[in-house]
Structure 1
Amino acid sequence: MLDNFERGTICIEDIEMGMVRYLRKQVTDEDIEMFAKVSTDRNPVHLDEDYARDTLFQGRIAHGMLTAGLISAVIGEQLPGHGTIYMSQNLKFLAPVRPGDMVLAEVEVTGIEIDKRRVKLDCRCVVDGKKVLVGEAMVMAPSRKFD
């Protein structure tokens, strides 16, 4: 497995079943704080260790949508990449992501409709070999015909 893929565009004409792209990112306190600021979600389970210690999670966790945003980054930057339009996304959160966790966000092509430029993607995020998020996305891929 390669550590990094080039960012850019894979046009619908070049997408193949089973193609996989991914990124690895360590979630930092700064990431969580910036996400809270941008999203306005200041739930203390994300920001206040004293509060979070007394919750089900027994400590601070990253926003689920911050983790999901890593899937968006793979889709928007790598597969299909620049020019991709999100059509739908479903997600299931399986386990928390904590500050300091290294997240592997991965997408895999599971369906292609060339005439409609649609690509179905299996999406997952993994921490220490354990799935923390799974889902499926439908996107509209760029095409050389529209350059």
Structure 2
Amino acid sequence: MAEKAIEKVQVGFKASVSKTITPEVIRKFAEVSEDHNPLHLDEEYAKKTVFGERIAHGILAVGFISAALTKLPGTVVYLSQTVEFSKPVKIGDTIEAIVEVEEITREKSQVKLKTYCQNQRGEQVLRGEAKVKLFDLK
């Protein structure tokens, strides 16, 4: 009998993915999300803001957390995600999304994880908590 996905997870397990933010990444995200806020797309507009330059959509970085969750065993389905943004993500930043298992409810096949993203300088740009359910492949 095959081991269940939830049995393969341990508290403290970490997974991560990294991505460098380019103007093209931001443009593609704006296209797919239909979020055309000029703060993300218009250099002249962005220069006049508190940021002084274009920044990435905050939710773009949150998407990398979803990618890191795919490193868990089995099929992962989100139940919830909280997020707090602490720093802007800038063009040229390399963002690492990290998920860490904090709690496991084996009878429900559910996992609670600490989630955060940091830039190449080790500065945390967002943090939160995810709850997911693990499913086995048939």
Both proteins in one fold, TM over 0.5 = yes
Matched, 1:141 2:134: yes
**Residues 95-106 of structure 1 mapped to structure 2, 5 A cutoff:** 95-106=87-98
The count of residues paired between Structure 1 and Structure 2 equals: 134
Q: 20, 30, 37: which one pairs with 1:36?
A: 30
Question: Could you say what secondary structure the match of 1:84 adopts?
Answer: strand
Matched, 1:69 2:47: no
- Partner amino acid for 1:61? I
d(CA) in 1 for partners of 2:72 and 2:92?
26
1:11, distance to aligned residue in structure 2 (A): 1.3
d(CA) in 1 for partners of 2:72 and 2:98?
10
d(CA) in 2 for partners of 1:121 and 1:55?
34
d(CA) in 2 for partners of 1:60 and 1:110?
35
d(CA) in 1 for partners of 2:63 and 2:29?
10
**Residues 1-147 of structure 1 mapped to structure 2, 5 A cutoff:** 11-75=5-69, 77-80=70-73, 83-127=75-119, 128-143=121-136, 147=138
d(CA) in 1 for partners of 2:66 and 2:52?
28
User: Residue by residue, what CA displacement relative to the aligned partner does 1:19-77 show, whole Å, maximum 9, x if unpaired?
Assistant: 000011101111100110011000000001110011011100000010100001111x2
Question: Could you say what secondary structure the match of 2:54 adopts?
Answer: coil
1:94, distance to aligned residue in structure 2 (A): 0.4
What is the TM-score of this pair, normalised by structure 1? 0.87
Alpha-carbon RMSD: 1.3
Q: Give percent identity, aligned residues only.
A: 44
> Which stretches in structure 2 are left out of the alignment for 5+ residues?
none
